[in-house]
Amino acid sequence: MKIFEGASLVTAVLLALLLVLLPVLGLQFLPGLGLPIYAVNVAGQVMCFALLAMSVDLMWGGAGVLSLGHGLFFAFGGYLCSMHLLRTAYAATHVLPDFLLFMGHGGFPAWWAFADTAPVTLLAVLLLPALLAFGFGFVSFRSRVNGVYFSIISQALTYTAMLLMFRNDTGFGGNNGMTGFHSIAGLSAGGVGAGVLLAETATASVLAALLAGRVLLASRFGRLLAAIRDDEPRLRFLGYETLWLKLAAWCASAAVAALAGALYVPQVGIINPSLLDPSLSLEIAVWVAIGGRGGLVGAILGAVLVNLAKFWLSAAAPDLWPFVLSLLVLLVVLVLPNGLLDLRNRSRAWLGELARTPPPRLRRRAAR
C-alpha cells in the first residue's frame, strides 16, 4: 500500500488549499471575495465531522470493528473544552455560569481547576477519553466481544452517558447544557477572527490526521490491523496478541474523536446531552459507509458531502433530509458496497461489461 496516491493525495492538496484560503476569504482581505461568518462556521463544523468520521474509519475500515458509540468520545472532548472556556469567561467577567447559580453553587467545583490553562485542557482532551476507551475496550476485547455485539454495547454505553448528563446534579448543565463562552484564544467568541481560527485548526487537524493515519495504515501495525479485520482467529493462531493491537487503535480513535468534539463545541457555542444521542453515532457510521471504509479518505469524503447536503437541505427543505439520507444508505447497500470510493471500480466494471456485450442487432444475427 502506497502512503499517498490517487484520492489521498488529492484530498491532502485540497485540505492544504483550504488552509490557505480560509484566512484570506474569511477575514475578507480581498474586497468582494470575503466569506460570511456563517460559511466559515459551516466549513469548520464540517471539518470537525470529517475528523470524527476518520476516528470511526480507523477502527471500522482498519480493524473491522464498528463502533456505534463514538458520540461518547466526541461529547467528552466537547465538555472538557467547555469547562476551559467557562473558566476563561469567569476570569474575564467574574460571573458564574447560569447552571451553577441555579444549583446554588458559589463557585466552580474544585476539580475543575485543571481546565484553567489551554495546554492542560488539551492534554486532558486527548488522554481522558483514551483512558475511558482503554477501560471499556480492555473488558470487551479481552472477552472477545466482536461484531454486532460490540456495536450494541458501545451504543448502550453512549446512551447511559446521555441519561447521566441529563441530570442537573452532575454539574454539567443538565438538559440545558453549557454555554456562555466569552473568548477563544483571546478572540471574541462568535466573532470572525475566532471562527476563522477554529476552522483553520479543524482543517489542519484533519490534514494532520490524514497524513499520520496513512503512514500508520501503511506500517506493520496497519497491516496487522488489516489482518485482524480479515481473519482475527488466524492471526491469533499465528501467535499475535490481537488484544493490544485493537486496544491501541481503539484508544487512538477515541482521542481523535474527542479532539473533534473539542473543536466543534466552540463553533456552535453550546454543548448539551444531545451530542450523546445514539442517533449521532449511527449517523457517523453512515458517513463512513457512504464515503467508503478504509484509507480514511472515504471517511472525509462522506462526512463532507453528507453534512454539506444536510446543511443545505435543512434550510431549504428540512422535512426532505431524512428521506434523502435513507436513499443514500440504500444506494450504498445495493450498488456501492464500499461507498463512493467504489464508484470508480464499479464504473470500470460496468463499462467493461458494456464493451463486451454486442449490440442487439449483432446478437440477433448471431442467433440466426
Q: Is 298 exposed, middle or buried (0-12, 13-18, 19+ CB in 10 A)?
A: buried
Q: How far is CA 225 from the centre of its chain?
A: 20
Amino acid present at 82? S
2 has a pLDDT exceeding 80 = no
The stretch 13-17 carries a mean pLDDT of 91
DSSP β-bridge partners for residue 183: 188
Domain boundaries, the chain: 6-278
Q: How many CA atoms lie within 13 A of 171 on its CB side?
A: 11
Kindly report, residue by residue over 35-55, the tens digit of the pLDDT. Answer: 888 899 999 999 999 999 999
Separation CA 54–CA 46 (nearest Å): 12
Find all residues with CB under 8 Å of 117, minimum gap 6, and list them.
84
pLDDT digits (tens, 9 = 90+) for 144-201: 998 899 999 999 999 999 999 998 888 888 888 899 898 888 888 888 889 999 999 9
26 against 301, higher pLDDT: 301
Question: What proportion of the chain, given as a percentage, has pLDDT over 90?
Answer: 54
pLDDT at 332: 79
Mean pLDDT in residue range 317-345: 79
19, 41, 56, 266, 300 from 36: Cα distances, Å: 17, 9, 31, 18, 24
Share of the chain above pLDDT 70, in %: 91
Q: Which helix (H) or strand (E) holds 35?
A: none
Residue 40 C-beta-side C-alpha neighbours within 13 Å = 27
Q: What is the mean pLDDT of residues 259-264?
A: 96
Say whether pLDDT at 115 is over 70: yes
d(CA 242, CA 237): 10
Check pLDDT > 90 for residue 368: no
3-state secondary structure 165-203: HCCHHHCCCCCCCEECCCEECCEECCCHHHHHHHHHHHH
The helix or strand, by DSSP H or E, that contains position 270, with its residue range, turns out to be strand 270-271
Rg (CA), the chain: 23
CA distance 180 to 158: 25
Cα separation, 125 vs 81, whole angstroms: 7
Surface-to-core class of residue 28, CB atoms within 10 Å of its CB (0-12 exposed, 13-18 middle, 19+ buried): middle
Would you state the pLDDT for residue 364? 53
Question: What pLDDT score was predicted for residue 365?
Answer: 55
The tens digit of pLDDT for each residue in 279-309 reads 899 999 999 999 888 889 999 999 999 999 9
pLDDT, position 5: 66
- Asked if the model's pLDDT at residue 362 lies above 50, the reply is no
Query: Residue 141: its pLDDT value, please?
Result: 94
pLDDT at residue 356 greater than cutoff 80: no
